Amino acid sequence: MTSKLPRGLIGWAIAASVGTCMALALQLWIWIVLALRPVSHGSGDYLGYQYAALVLGILPSLIALTVAIRFVVRRGRCRSSVWVLVADIVCLSLVGVLIVPPALTVFRFAPTDDAVFHERVRLGYFADGDPGSDFRPDDAQYALQKRVDAIAHDLGFEDDDIPYDNVPGGATQRARPGTSPAGNPCTTYLESFTLPSSVDRGRAQAEVSTMWAKQSAAGEGDFVEGQRALVLALNAVGSIKYTPENRTFVTRTECLIDEPARPMGQ
């Protein structure tokens, strides 16, 4: 049996094919974004595209399939209508296999991604509101160690005697998992550095107290000078504690919010 295909059926068949191709391209782009970005920026840069991929993949294919079935039922089968029907089924199947499952995974991940991002913003992780400036645990720990390095230099240490000068990201030895105020997983990093006994205890204490008092006056942090320990708390990074009795510095980051495990990549 032969029958001329209506323009509407042909148009929806083309729309289904184009929509499926666009949906697959969008889904691939979303996966690349999640796999390659170094720092969580929330779901704002991909969630809308995920909805678009679902709409472009499902709606035209479903309408095209419905129109094709109605045409076959009312006017009988012909070779052209069968090919259109098969093409619509293939498009909808591709969407069901390659778009819907990844989309469900992305939708489950998005709330966690947003929770991490918004708490980082609230706690001041981003300098000047720029997500690209997000510091990582190693960066924060290294920033604390550089403060210790500066004091060691002033006490006459050579670069070779200071273990952290040229080792960014390698200074953390102890990690303590925890939970942030908003309930996100976070980690506190600690490291200690002890001045040798050849360093005069009184001179070292005076040097630490003077430097940290100046930094506190400059608004770089809060300095607390107690009887047994000196503490400099730095904004959005952590704190440094110096115990004059045993000449030991202990750097402690804040509870840094961990990067959420992404559906693809890390």
Same structural domain, 106 and 217: no
Please report whether residue 201 resides in a domain: yes
pLDDT at 139: 76
In eight-state DSSP terms, residue 172 is -
pLDDT digits (tens, 9 = 90+) for 182-228: 999 998 888 888 888 888 899 999 999 999 999 999 988 899 998 89
pLDDT at 149: 85
Residues paired with residue 185 on neighbouring β-strands, in sequence order: 179
pLDDT at 129: 56
Please report whether residue 20 resides in a domain: yes
Please report whether residue 266 resides in a domain: no
Mean pLDDT of 235-242: 85
Please report whether residue 216 resides in a domain: yes
Same structural domain, 141 and 59: no
Please report whether residue 264 resides in a domain: no
pLDDT range class, residue 167, cuts 50, 70, 90 = very low
Closest of 4, 95, 90 to residue 53, by C-alpha: 95
pLDDT at 168: 41
55 pLDDT more than 70: yes
Same structural domain, 120 and 29: yes
Same structural domain, 252 and 163: yes
Positive or negative torsion for Cα 165, 166, 168, 172: negative
> What's the full length of the chain, in residues?
266
Please report whether residue 164 resides in a domain: yes
Same structural domain, 73 and 114: yes
pLDDT digits (tens, 9 = 90+) for 91-115: 999 999 999 999 999 999 999 999 9
Domain stops at, among 129, 157, 188: 129
Domain stops at, among 105, 129, 153: 129
Rounded-to-integer distance, Cα 266 and Cα 254, Å: 22
Residues in contact with 26: Cβ distance below 8 Å, sequence separation at least 6, in sequence order: 49, 50, 52, 53, 56
pLDDT range class, residue 162, cuts 50, 70, 90 = low
Total domains in the chain come to 2
Same structural domain, 107 and 207: no
Same structural domain, 19 and 72: yes
Please report whether residue 29 resides in a domain: yes
pLDDT at 170: 41
Domain stops at, among 114, 129, 144: 129
Same structural domain, 104 and 144: no
pLDDT digits (tens, 9 = 90+) for 119-154: 988 887 776 556 656 666 677 777 888 888 888 888
Same structural domain, 83 and 162: no
156 pLDDT more than 50: yes
Of 3-12, 199-208, 229-238, which range is least confident?
A: 3-12
The burial class, CB within 10 Å (0-12 / 13-18 / 19+), for 68 is buried
Same structural domain, 114 and 142: no
pLDDT at 1: 43
What is the residue-averaged pLDDT of the chain?
84
Rounded-to-integer distance, Cα 106 and Cα 117, Å: 16
Same structural domain, 116 and 155: no
Please report whether residue 61 resides in a domain: yes
Of 15-29, 89-103, 243-257, which range is least confident?
A: 243-257
pLDDT at 184: 93
Which domain does 83 fall in, by range?
A: 7-129
166 pLDDT more than 60: no
Same structural domain, 15 and 61: yes
